[in-house]
Amino acid sequence: MRSIDWQDGHIVAIDQTRLPGELVLMEIHTVEDLVEAIKRLAIRGAPALGAAGALGAAIAVRDPGRRDKALDALRTARPTAVNLAWGVDQAMARHVDGPDAVLAAAIGVLDDDAVRNRALGERGADWLATRVQGPVVVQTHCNAGALACVEWGTALGVVRSLHERDRLGHVYVDETRPLLQGSRLTSWELTEMGIDHTVIVDSAAATVLARGLADAVVVGADRITANGDVVNKIGTYPLALAAQRAGRPFVVAAPESTIDLGLVSGDQVEIEVRDPDEVLAIGGLPGTATLNYAFDVTPADLVTVIVTENRVLRPELGERPA
């Protein structure tokens, strides 16, 4: 099953807010409904947002009078991840050829995502398999699996490739507060794949590394800037610091579409601040002030490798995407 797809003239997508309790498919017929689904994280994950942007463009071009307003709302639905606007641009590059051409380009984005991320997973598994003796124990953060993409996954794509080679030992899953994408979504995906894993609270992430329980950290990315800075789910930066201290590789797995050469460094990225209620929902005092950053910036010198479908970069050694 694809996490997001086009069927019978509309978008069909897994509602990720309903997992792990139930697997619910949404039918989305308008850009307005798509934007709402993106904002409430029913559709989330950088590559999946790219697919959503492309399919949303295919809907928008059906109504020329409202097209530009709809596309602007779609592009800005979540400001930090670069893939959303990228997906819109990929589909709209064919708009002069008519709505059918835009739809064909959008479906091409979905098909391409599955191929590219599987190649990325194999490349990441190759890199880890040559540096770790025996089964590889991975620690990951947030959700960068099939749910965050179209079919395969980025960080969990690497995990899947290791698993298929019988080179995966175990996976430690950071719960990823406040919305628990790790304990809800990554744990669900790993369970579906039959992969042994352990969920840990975010505040235990550094201790897992310090005690030598994990061989490597593998995460996804929502944007990678020209200097190699990595923007990813909040909590990634301290995990990178802990990995460096523990002498463990910090691996970022992301497709080339996540690299934004238009921004020099992570300091230029707009970091989304989300609803305080997300923080206070579990044991919080209503009305308490919160600062709910959705993402953080990991400096390039903390990143051992960036793995894409095409290459392996070593930011900590000065290699840059540009």
pLDDT, one tens digit per residue, over 122-156 is: 999 999 999 999 999 999 999 999 999 999 999 99
262 token code pair: 């238009």
Summarize the confidence of residues 275-304 as an average pLDDT.
95
Residue 314's CB: how many other CB atoms inside 10 A? 14
> pLDDT value at position 133?
92
Residue 59 has pLDDT above 90, yes or no: yes
**Pairing outcome for strands 197-200 and 168-174:** parallel
* CATH fold of 121-317: Rossmann fold (3.40.50)
Question: Do 57 and 92 meet the contact criterion of CB atoms below 8 Å apart?
Answer: yes
Half-sphere exposure (Cβ direction) of 290: Cα atoms closer than 13 Å: 18
Q: How confident is the model at residue 282 (pLDDT cuts 50, 70, 90)?
A: confident
In a 3-state reduction of DSSP, which class is residue 207?
helix
Name the strand (E) or helix (H) holding 161.
helix 155-164
User: Which residues make Cβ contacts (< 8 Å) with residue 27, sequence separation at least 6?
Assistant: 10, 11, 12
Question: Which residues, 6+ apart, have CB-to-CB distance to 114 below 8 Å?
Answer: 2, 149, 150, 151, 152
What is the overall mean pLDDT for the chain? 97
What pLDDT, on the 0 to 100 scale, is given for residue 1? 82
What is the DSSP code string of 117-157?
A: HHHHHHHHHHHHHTTSSSSEEEEE-S--SGGGSSSS-SHHH
CB 58 within 8 A of CB 160: no
Do β-strands 223-225 and 259-260 pair in parallel, antiparallel, or remain unpaired?
parallel
Nearest CA to 152 out of 280, 33, 255, 239 is that of 255
Terminal-to-terminal C-alpha distance of the chain? 35
- The pTM (predicted TM-score) of the whole model is 0.96
User: Tell me: the pLDDT tens digits for 207-251?
Assistant: 999 999 999 999 999 999 999 999 999 999 999 999 999 999 999
**pLDDT attached to residue 126:** 98
Task: Give CA–CA dist 154/170, Å, rounded.
Answer: 17
At residue 292, φ and ψ (nearest 5 deg) are: -105, 70
Is there a catalytic annotation at residue 202? no
Q: Which of 165, 184, 81, 172 is nearest to 124 (CA)?
A: 165
| Residues 4-49 pLDDT 10s | 999 999 999 999 999 999 999 999 999 999 999 999 999 999 999 9
Q: What is the mean pLDDT of residues 301-307?
A: 98
The C-alpha atoms of residue 297 and residue 293 are separated, in whole angstroms, by 11
Q: What is the pLDDT of residue 322?
A: 84
DSSP 97: G
What residues contact residue 73 under an 8 Å CB cut-off, 6+ apart?
A: 31, 32, 35
Task: Considering the candidates 112, 174, 215, 222, report the single residue annotated as catalytic.
Answer: 222
- Phi then psi for 236, rounded to 5 degrees? -70, -40
Backbone angles phi, psi at 41, to 5 degrees: 70, 25
Q: What is the CATH number of domain 4-113?
A: 1.20.120.420
The confidence score (pLDDT) of residue 187 equals 98
Taking alpha carbons only, the member of 139, 126, 130 closest to residue 182 is 139
Find all residues with CB under 8 Å of 235, minimum gap 6, and list them: 141, 142, 174, 176, 177, 202, 205, 296
Domain boundaries, the chain: 4-113, 121-317
The percentage of the chain sitting over the pLDDT mark of 70, rounded to a whole number, equals: 100
Of the candidates 161, 190, 163, 162, the one whose C-alpha atom is nearest the C-alpha of residue 174 is 190
Output the six-digit token pair for 168.
Answer: 């995966």
